[in-house]
Amino acid sequence: MTRQDAPLLEVQGLSKTFQVGREQVQALRGVDLTLRPGQILGLAGESGSGKSTLARMLAGSSAPSGGDVRLEGRSVTGERLQGERWFKERVQMVFQDPATSLNPRRTVAQTLEVPLRTLGLNAAARQSRLLELLDLVELGQEFASSYPGALSGGQKQRVAVARALAIEPRLIVLDEPTSALDVSVQAKVIGLLLRLREQLGLAYLFISHDLSLMRNVADETAILYLGRVVEQAPTRELFARPQHPYTRMLLSAIPVVSDEEARLKPAHTAVVGEIPSASRIPSGCTFHTRCPFVTEACTRSEPDLLDVGPAHVARCIRIPDLRAAGVLP
Amino acid sequence: MTWLTGTAPFPQTGQAPTLALDGLSIRFARRDVPVLDRVSLHIRRGERVGLVGESGCGKSLTMLALMGLLPSGAQVLGGTLSVLGQLLAQRAWGHARRPAPGLAMVFQQPTAALNPVFTVGDQLLAVARTQPKQVNKAALTTACLTVLEQVRLSDPRRVFSSYPFQLSGGMRQRVLIALALLRKPTLLIADEPGTALDVTIQAEILSLLDDLVREEHLALLHITHNLGVARETTDRVYVMYGGRVVEHAPTAELFRSPSHPYTVGLLGSIPRLDGSGTGVGIPGTVPAVQGMPPGCRFQSRCPLAEPACRRLEPPPDADEAFVSCVHPLTATTRPGLWT
Amino acid sequence: MSAPVALLPVAASRPGSDGWRRFVRSPGAALGLVIVVLVVLAALLAPVITPYPQHAGPFVDFAHASQPPSAGHWLGTDAVGRDLLTRIVFGYRTSLLLVVVVLSIGIPVGVLLGLVAGYYGGWVESVIMRVTDIFLALPPLALVLAVTSVLTPTLVNAMIAIGALWWTWHTRLVHGMVSGLKNEDFIEAARRAGASDAHLLFRELLPNVISTVAVKTTLDAAFVILLGSGLSFLGLGATPPTPDLGTMVSEGAKYLPGQWWESVFPGLAILLVSLGFNLLGDGLREYFDVDVQR
């Protein structure tokens, strides 16, 4: 394996349990991921899937309850390590809501100063780097003295991206970076993110509930449900041949804007119930309470990830049968 | 001033529309430029009409005007509203603080729209009591349980005695629909229903609304920023931008051959399931109200802008399909407009 | 998508010129500002603008004692013949001095403790807030009376006593705000970018808290003046012959209703300055209200 291919981020058995009042909330229950330099890994899931918890953990904002995280081969599981400068210089985050991710009382320049100071640049270097960053995210220099209140949602997100880039990280965790934006603005911000990936060789951990967006952004996509990955594959493969019943349910529910796309969706799967609470996780396969293909065996034990195609895994024991019956591609 | 009327008038034109909003203009105090400029919508029973646009287009303000919930700074400059053929006095909508009879609204946020310290039953009863013909508590309660059944809640009695926090997001949204149904509306206004919920639950809510429109022969005004939702759940669509309606067409036609440059740009910005991309977006941003040019409000961002655009008036007829544009796009001019 | 907010004129997150318009829209805000400015100017220029500056010191003139308002003495004279107008203006000096001393001790201490308690949490927060709670549980006047009676009842001691408990209100206010703010994304983002605790406290959190503190400060000023006057009324304030509004009210009260001006005018003077600060505070609240608009 050449240096180039060495994984940037390796996650094994990551779990996180919260104590909320008297209940234990298992937000993550053993997630394995690998991210290579320059790769975009997409994490998709609905509310309660654990994707935001995972994002915050990998960005270094909270420590895992269990499992192992390695960045560039070095273990970073403890909270203290994630507070280290070494970690912050490599992993940055773009938050979902542009309105709350920028301090309303600080100008754009003041906000961008923070990571630049961490880099240890002198005043002149900081100033020129500031202008470079604004240029990089396609914002005019006049925005340096603006307060967030004077910026549109798209402009605020560009500032958030500039802040993440300032410290020259290798990996950026993006937690629903465009879901608070209008779609015409989203297209521009996504375009910017993809261009920056090419230009700077960044890796992204891209979290979203919008599967159509994921289809066009991520190289590889993982679907999360109740704290575990239930299906994962290179994006094109996942969307062409979704195997897990939950993935199929999600895909069939996406509203699309053309007949061609409608034909690409799996046959409409009636939605049963809502996602159970993460403090009362169902036994066996956690999806069994809502699955149209459930059998008795599904309630006994949680399946492992099975190989179902090229670099394609899914956590469901029914897949071979469903394939044989022609239900699955 | 040009607009296309490519298709025949919509069916049922003979009947008076359930809701006829004509020429609504609103401005905020001390601003010269109206924030809504002569917006017209017509909706009939059994029709599902979409009102789509991005933030700042005025769809929310239009909805507030219909429901009588305009903020105090908003001044109605003009416009008439008729429900079932009856022209309403201005004091019955706009700032009335109560919806005109026959109208009901389903709010957007299931969490925010329900009072957390009262049970669902209490909140339903509060609405039921305002309806004529309901007298004793038993009859009111029955009415409430009936609407809870109508929205397909599996255990209406349990929901009735529950507090909002004890219900899931999907159930809360159904409760909001039930609250609207209590008013026995002829027109239901749904403001981004299910947006705050997971896509699977949203699909169920939208399917429920479809069923209700059919079963109760309602008229539905569906307000959304999500074009995919609009395509799958409406019969025709009004597209708004900058306080004006810029395009109006049957849904299938709008999505197959959009004619307004904004609509084309908008559709082009939507990520496609076939992986063909996320589009380019639309350069620029919505100008502030004071900065709106005369005539077409999309001029500042439109690659086809020309002097004639400054004289463009909003279309006169809300029943016909139209494109409010000096140079509507065709199959040849459409591709390559936004690259 | 929320309602018409997107169509409202975009509010900068800094007050700016738009803030001034909002300020004057608040009823009485402009009036409050005018009153406060006039009182401050009057107090500063007291020796220059008053007709009988020497009456502010040890001076007696029994020939002119207890005279009603006249051309020579616009507000009349007190029981020992001193011009009431002059003594009231000098009395403002005393009151404003009290405000300055108390608030310049109380506010920085209170804000700092609130920042630290709210940000760090844990035992630091517990200790600070429990001490704050204890002080808040005691009725302010009783505490001040207790302190000043232990020490000698002078104006300086009154200021110390009041200042010693003024921080508690600000600590509680700031602690509440910071506890919420510290969980905001922008704080986490700054931490991710390498900001130190000091930076987070003073450059990220403090600016978000300062406008609320400013509004409270003006309202505090009014209350401090009233509290100080109350103490003087009870004989625990400035020592004679230093002019003090509260003392003047209490001394003058003996002559009600006959020589009513001796207590009514000082009383009105207290009312005027408190009202001024209150109205100013309301105006400031409007001025800073930008935060609410998004």
pLDDT tops 70 at residue B13: no
pLDDT of the residue at C18: 62
C-alpha to C-alpha distance for B57 and B245, rounded to whole angstroms: 9
Any idea which residue has 């802008």 for tokens? B305
- A119 and A188 co-located in one domain: yes
In a shared domain, residues A237 and A264:
yes
- pLDDT band of residue C27 (cuts 50, 70, 90) is confident
A102 shares a domain with A55 = yes
Provide, as residue numbers in chain A, all residues whose Cβ is less than 8 Å from the Cβ of B255: 257-258
Buried b (16+ CB within 10 A) or exposed e, A316-326: bbbbeebeeee
C-alpha distances in Å from residue B178, one per residue of B6, B183, C222: 39, 9, 52
**Ranges in chain A, pLDDT < 70:** 1-4, 79-82
Smallest Cβ–Cβ distance between C14 and the set A99, A100, A147 belongs to: A147
Residue B252 contacts residue B268 (beta carbons within 8 Å): no
CA distances from B193 to B18, B174, B180, B206, B224 (A): 21, 10, 13, 7, 8
Identify the CATH number of the domain in which residue A99 sits: 3.40.50.300
Pairing of strands A228-234, A220-225: antiparallel
| pLDDT, tens only, C100-114 | 888 888 899 999 999
Which pLDDT value is given to residue B29? 77
Q: Tell me the three state secondary structure of residue A262.
A: helix
Mean pLDDT over each residue of chain B, to the nearest integer = 88
So what's the pLDDT on residue B9?
39
d(CA C1, CA A180): 9
Identify the residue with better confidence: C143 or B200: B200
Which pLDDT does position B227 carry in this prediction?
94
Q: Which CATH superfamily does the domain covering C17-292 fall into?
A: MetI-like (1.10.3720.10)
Chain C residue at shortest CA distance from A60: C192
What is the number of structural domains in chain A?
2
Q: How confident is the model at residue A202, as a pLDDT? A: 95
Residues A175 and A296 in one domain: no
Residue span of the structural domain in which A285 resides: 233-329
Q: A180-184, C174-178, C221-225: lowest mean pLDDT where?
A: C221-225
d(CA A182, CA B279): 13
pLDDT at position A81: 64
Confidence of residue C290 (pLDDT cuts 50, 70, 90): low
User: What mean pLDDT, rounded, does chain C reach?
Assistant: 82
Do B60 and C1 lie within an 8 Å CB cutoff?
A: yes
Residues of A in contact with B249 (CB under 8 A): none
Q: Give the tens place of pLDDT for each residue, B200-214.
A: 899 999 999 999 999
Q: What is the pLDDT of residue A318?
A: 92
- For the segment B238-253, the average pLDDT, to the nearest whole number, is 94
| Residue C71: Cβ-neighbour burial (10 angstroms; 0-12, 13-18, 19+) | exposed
Is the CB of C8 inside 8 Å of chain A's CB atoms? Answer: no
Of all residues in chain C, the one with the smallest CA distance to A156 is C186
pTM: 0.86
> Does A187 lie in the same domain as A69?
yes
User: Mean pLDDT, to the nearest integer, of B264-270?
Assistant: 93
- Report pLDDT digits (tens) over C224-277: 888 888 777 777 777 777 888 888 888 888 888 888 888 899 899 999 998 999
Binned at pLDDT 50, 70 and 90, residue C153 comes out as low
Tell whether A307 is covered by a domain: yes
**What's at C263, amino acid-wise?**
S
DSSP string of B169-229, one letter each residue: HHHHHHHHHHHHHTT--SEEEEESTTTTS-HHHHHHHHHHHHHHHHHHT-EEEEEES-HHH
Please give the ipTM for the structure prediction.
0.88
Binned at pLDDT 50, 70 and 90, residue C10 comes out as very low
> In chain C, what's the furthest Cα-to-Cα distance?
77
Q: Does A43 touch chain B (CB under 8 A)?
A: no
Would an 8 Å CB–CB cutoff place B270 in contact with chain A? Answer: yes
- Tell me the pLDDT band of C12, cut-offs 50, 70 and 90: very low
Final residue belonging to a domain, choices A174, A195, A218 = A218
Partner residue facing B273 (CB), from A185, A190, A264: A264
Chain A positions in Cβ-Cβ contact with residue C291 (cut-off 8 Å): 104
pLDDT of residue C177: 95
Where a domain ends, among A218, A245, A260?
A: A218
Residue B67's contacts (CB-CB under 8 Å, 6 or more residues apart) are: B93, B99, B103, B105, B189
Residue with tokens 């978000």: C208
What number is the average pLDDT over the span B236-240?
95
- Integer angstrom CA distances of residue A39 from A53, B15, C276: 21, 59, 63
Domain edge (last residue) among A218, A250, A275: A218
3-state secondary structure string across B34-68:
CCEEEEEEEECCCCEEEEECCCCCCHHHHHHHHHC
Whether B134 has a pLDDT exceeding 70, the answer reads no
How does residue B38 score in pLDDT terms, banded at 50, 70 and 90? very high
Strand (E) or helix (H) holding A123 = helix A123-136
Of A59, A115, A150, nearest to C194 by CB-CB distance is A115
CB nearest to C189's CB, from A118, A147, A163: A163
Domain ranges of chain B: 108-184
> CA torsion sign, A45 to A49 to A54 to A55?
positive
The model's pLDDT over B306-333, given as tens digits with 9 standing for 90+, comes to 999 999 988 877 788 889 998 899 888 8
Which residues in chain C are contacts of B58 at CB distance < 8 A? Answer: 7
Tell me how far CA of residue A276 lies from CA of A300, B114, C259, in angstroms: 17, 22, 80
Q: Taking residues B166-179, what's their average pLDDT?
A: 93
Residue B69 has pLDDT above 60, yes or no: yes
In-domain check, residue A228? no
* Interchain pair B55, C1: CB under 8 A: yes
pLDDT band at C41, cuts 50/70/90? very high
